[in-house]
Amino acid sequence: MSVVSGASDLRPAIARAVGVDVGAVTDVRPTAGGDVSRASTAVVAGQRCFVKHVDPPVPGLLASEAASLDWLAEPAAITVPRVVGVADVHGGDDTHRGAGPAVLVLAFVEAGRPAVDHDEALGRGLAALHRAGADAFGASWAGFVGTVPQPNEPTGTWADFLGTKRLWPTALIADERGALPPGTLDALEGLVDRLPDRLGPPEPPARLHGDLWGGNAMVGTDGLPVLVDPASFGGHREVDLAMMRLFGGFGSGVFDAYDEVFPLADGNADRVELYQLHPLLVHAAMFGGGYGRRARATIDRYR
């Protein structure tokens, strides 16, 4: 787990990220945050902001989230926090290295209570986001889920991307950390070879959130959904929907509204657990426990 700076250290980093004088950053206060980064609020040039910060930086982590948010915002299909600025470390020659924590500065989103049509709005908005599409399976920025790196170099087919850029590299990390049962990598190799026959009808790449569990969907003051903490890339839309079902938190009305706008291909119910394999491997790599055994059971089911 990263050692995270206190709020009192953040003013220079926030100023650097946004491109303002340090004197324009005031009222920096710690607030509730996640496991990967810590969070604060600040007033930046008169605007209230939410600040995620990691110290020492995980190179590219917050820049990846910023790129994901900007990309999700492009089609204006569903609300995401606006990126105000980001200062991250990308490599050994980065001028920000050693200059304090990596920070991501976002426009503050005030939390509210769900409106009567919240679930319908979420389902329809997610369908519109997916329909906005992507140029390829992958993305132009380096990816992360939590602190687990996710290669995003585009590939020609969805089966190739899922196998070589998601399942296999994540399983290698989990295995190196002792989180997978013996023989899991051999079993996964067999599944990866068979993915073209397991993934249903071909579809063009969708614009994915990439880590859509219940904690990453909040409600704004208008009562409508706001998606946060993405790990975006171009992929199959059933990825987001399977993740939403893995840990719960989404009502049936969300999925009904989605299906009205953008019906899923036949056999999608039989693929839900297959598309939950990658997040299980991520959780095995990050937390260990029973996630590795669940991942192995899923591999055995589909190979």
Active site residues per annotation: 211
Nearest alpha-carbon partner for 148 in 24, 64, 31: 64
Phi, psi of 248 (to 5 degrees): 75, -165
Query: What sign does the dihedral 255-113-217-126 (CA atoms) show?
Result: positive
| Span between the terminal Cα atoms of the chain, in Å | 34
Nearest alpha-carbon partner for 294 in 303, 286, 283, 146: 283
Nearest alpha-carbon partner for 240 in 89, 122, 106, 148: 122
Distance CA 117, CA 160 (A): 38
Could you give the angle at the alpha carbon of 249 between the alpha carbons of 244 and 251, nearest 5°?
90
Q: What is the dihedral of CA 56, 60, 61, 65, to 10 degrees?
A: 140
Helical segments of 199-290, H only: 238-246, 252-261, 272-275, 277-287
Give the CA distances from residue 67 to residues 70, 218, 232, in Å, rounded to whole numbers and listed in that order. 5, 20, 8
Total Cβ atoms within 10 A of residue 121: 21
Total Cβ atoms within 10 A of residue 224: 17
